[in-house]
Amino acid sequence: MSVPIAKSIKVALLQFYAGSDKIANLSKAKEYFLKALKKEPDLDLLVLPECFNSPYAVDQFHNYCERIPGGETTNMLSKFARENSINIIGGSFPELGEDGNVYNTSLTFNKSGEIVAKHRKVHLFDIDIPGKMTFKESASLHSGNKATVFDLEGLGKFGLAICYDIRFPELAMIASRRGAGVMCYPGAFNTVTGPKFWTKFGVARAIDNQNYVILCSPARNPNGGYQAYGHSMVVDPNGDVLIEAGHGEEIVYAELDPQVEIDARTSIPLSSQRRFDIYKDVSKDAVTSAL
Ligand SMILES: NC(=O)CC(=O)C(=O)O
């Protein structure tokens, strides 16, 4: 059964776009970290967007991929978390796996700079909306093979998934039933699918599970390429959008209140009313781990 977050959590979502220079993208992430901490010094958690160190392009992922641990992106995130004693959900970036395959991977770091979660995008973004949007991540990426649930010291249990994963309610359901009070999706919807679906999925995953949901998107890139939707947001366990960015570069802040989660679950006690005599509990045999 899902449990509430452990305390009030102050979070910043860093919405910026990545260019073609990886080192410049990492510097930009650091610049945004510092900006957020300057404005709100008592933040508990910083969240980055999907593909924050590279263009979001099928023919580019292999040019930016790196090993975990050991790569420059992991090293930068770990060092920043440790030196500033701050938790970071590190968006996602192309990982060169031990098997030689490339993955779209999200890492979470605790305040000591240790990796406490690693999620490889499970559902790859392969779509074809004629005349509007064709994308085939599977042309260059391999998919992950587990749901990701982890503890963030002092804050509670989180679920983690990436972008297209949000369209499959099972990952959030599994995380919630394994105790997560927050589900986080670094995600880069686009100007075709974003206006139609982004907010609906954030709200749906929140009210399905009576959880907080965090969606962190890149900003739209004025220099072209894949145009992310933006609109990073935090949705509360009642499905109310607490904060929503526009589509440009900006930082948005929210506070996740455990009492809201407790009240939502107490007044409408979904978790004790499920009918597993009629349908299966997807969390029962699910493959999950933090790392
Ligand atoms: N980019 C994605 O992975 C997903 C997306 O844009 C969508 O589902 O729409």
Residues with Cβ within 8 Å of 228's Cβ and at least 6 positions away in sequence, in order, are 17, 49, 56, 188, 189, 190, 194, 217, 218, 219, 220, 221, 247
Pocket test for ligand 1, best of 51, 103, 125, 229 (most atoms within 8 A of CB): 125
pLDDT of residue 1: 46
2 lines ligand 1 (CB under 6 A): no
Measuring CA to CA, how many Å separate 184 from each of 97, 124, 223? 23, 17, 28
pLDDT (tens digit per residue) in 155-213: 999 999 999 999 999 999 999 999 999 999 999 999 999 999 999 999 999 999 999 99
Residues labelled as active-site residues: 50, 121, 163
> Which of 99, 86, 154 minimizes the C-alpha distance to 120?
99
pLDDT (tens digit per residue) in 235-277: 999 999 999 999 999 999 999 999 999 999 999 999 999 999 9
pLDDT at 19 over 80: yes
Average pLDDT along the chain = 97
193 lines ligand 1 (CB under 6 A): yes
């073609």: which residue's tokens?
A: 20
User: Is there a cis peptide before residue 69, judged by omega within 30 degrees of 0?
Assistant: yes
Mean pLDDT, residues 74-82 taken together: 98
Give residue 91's Cα distance to chain centre. Answer: 6
If you measure from the C-alpha of residue 278 to the centroid of ligand 1, how many angstroms do you get, rounded to a whole number? Answer: 32
pLDDT confidence tier of residue 85, bands split at 50, 70 and 90: very high
Secondary structure tally for the chain: helices H, strands E: 7, 16
190 lines ligand 1 (CB under 6 A): yes
Residues with Cβ within 8 Å of 239's Cβ and at least 6 positions away in sequence, in order, are 203, 204, 206, 207
pLDDT of residue 4: 80
Share of the chain above pLDDT 90, in %: 97
Pocket test for ligand 1, best of 121, 193, 227 (most atoms within 8 A of CB): 193
Share of the chain above pLDDT 70, in %: 99
167 lines ligand 1 (CB under 6 A): yes
Give residue 251's Cα distance to chain centre. Answer: 15
146 lines ligand 1 (CB under 6 A): no
Give dist(CA 227, CA 254) in Å, integer: 25
189 lines ligand 1 (CB under 6 A): yes
Provide CATH code, domain 9-282: 3.60.110.10
pLDDT of residue 3: 65
User: One-letter amino acid identity for 41?
Assistant: P
């029962």: which residue's tokens?
A: 284
- Sketch the domain layout of the chain as residue ranges: 9-282
| Model-wide pTM > 0.95 | yes
- Determine which residue's CA is closest to atom 3 belonging to ligand 1: 164
226 lines ligand 1 (CB under 6 A): no
pLDDT at 2 over 70: no
**What is the DSSP-derived secondary structure letter of residue 146?**
S
- Determine which residue's CA is closest to atom 5 belonging to ligand 1: 189
- Determine which residue's CA is closest to atom 4 belonging to ligand 1: 164
Give dist(CA 180, CA 89) in Å, integer: 15
Atom of ligand 1 nearest to the CA of 163: 3
Atom of ligand 1 nearest to the CA of 162: 3
Predicted complex ipTM: 0.98
pLDDT confidence tier of residue 224, bands split at 50, 70 and 90: confident
- Determine which residue's CA is closest to atom 2 belonging to ligand 1: 164
